[in-house]
Chain A
């Protein structure tokens, strides 16, 4: 992030980190999670699951900020995020 001046509590704020888990066999390839991740952490993979869909994979694991949006927007209960503690 670019700041015009450094915030006074810059040292105290820690952006949360998240660990993304994908239950591939439930995914139906709708790509809501891919589209609405604010950090573009996910991308549809090239491989197929059993039903022939392309599940997502975590492209940039270090960028995940544990916003959980992929988890709440997924219609299939196929993706969830756990907090990654330092």
Chain B
């Protein structure tokens, strides 16, 4: 998909180009200074704009958490649902409106810890959804507790002496569960992230985009990662792009190496393809 420079949608020089997709009556948003959820959100909106599809064909469903607040800031039909249950809600919505692009924008805790079961089943079914997971290694909104993606030995408020559980490799879980598109980027790889999201829009089936992010306010402070800018500079230093490798080899260690790239891009029949196969569209009449 070719990238094009953003043009102002309504020809007025005084407004931000993404204004038509942002609920400006709720700006400035609640995310902390330096929190890159805003950047990832902006990237998602840029992708919606650049896809040249009708924006009303998009809808965003999110769960609970800082990333989950994104649904409240996008000027599209959006749903802010319960913790961990964004994916089944999105499944129901997609079944009712198969022509729409349903994006699930949520965090690592919401999608993989409490929502882990729903994630793997939606991937297994190859439900036609686009999942954007903001991975900040913690439960940010509640103050920085340990989550399933928290690195080994990291300090959080509920593991004050260090996390002694091993974290998930989110991209690996997505690929193993059957996602047809898996990629991981950091917030700094913003243009590649936008391209990835655009590719995910075109893909039929369960697409997963993991964005390595940071929570400078809770996780960052507790683990002495520095200012928000220091965290981003660290991403710059230690991230390496390896497109096409197997996600199990895609290490994610915020002190040593972050492997990013497009890991999986395959074709598989979707839920709707298989449904049509078993129940061909012509209706069978009659009761028993």
Contacts and interface: CB of A to CB of B under 8 A. Distances in A.
Interface of A: 21, 23, 25-26, 28-32, 35-36, 51, 53, 66, 68-69, 71-78, 80, 82-83
A72 B13 CA distance: 17
A35 B16 CA distance: 21
Nearest to A30: B34
Residue of B19, B43, B232, B233 with most partner-chain A CB within 10 A: B232
Interface string B162-179: 000000000000000000
B28 A28 contact: yes
B18 interface: yes
Given A77-B22, A80-B17, A72 B229 contact: no
In order of increasing CB-CB distance, the 6 nearest A-B pairs are: A75-B38, A28-B33, A30-B34, A75-B39, A26-B28, A72-B190
Interface in B216-270: 228-229, 232-233
Interface of B: 5-6, 8, 13-14, 16-19, 22, 27-29, 31-39, 41-43, 46, 188, 190-191, 194, 228-229, 232-233
A77 B190 contact: no
30 contacts: A23-B16, A25-B28, A26-B27, A26-B28, A29-B33, A30-B33, A30-B34, A30-B229, A31-B229, A32-B39, A35-B232, A36-B188, A51-B28, A66-B5, A71-B6, A72-B194, A73-B39, A74-B42, A75-B34, A75-B38, A75-B41, A76-B27, A76-B28, A76-B29, A76-B38, A77-B19, A77-B42, A80-B16, A80-B17, A82-B8
B13 A21 contact: yes
B28 A72 contact: no
B39 A74 contact: yes
Nearest to B38: A75
A30 B187 CA distance: 14
B229 A32 contact: yes
Contacts of B37: 75
B28 A35 contact: no
A25 B22 CA distance: 16
A75 B19 CA distance: 14
B130 to A, nearest CB: 19
Contacts of B16: 23, 77-78, 80
A83 B38 CA distance: 24
Residue of B31, B32, B228 with most partner-chain A CB within 10 A: B228
B29 A72 contact: no
A68 B5 contact: yes
A28 B27 CA distance: 12
A75 B36 contact: yes
A50 to B, nearest CB: 10
Contacts of A78: 16
Contacts of A23: 16
B33 A77 contact: no
A75 B191 contact: no
Contacts of A69: 190
B75 to A, nearest CB: 12
Nearest to A76: B38
A7 B18 CA distance: 37
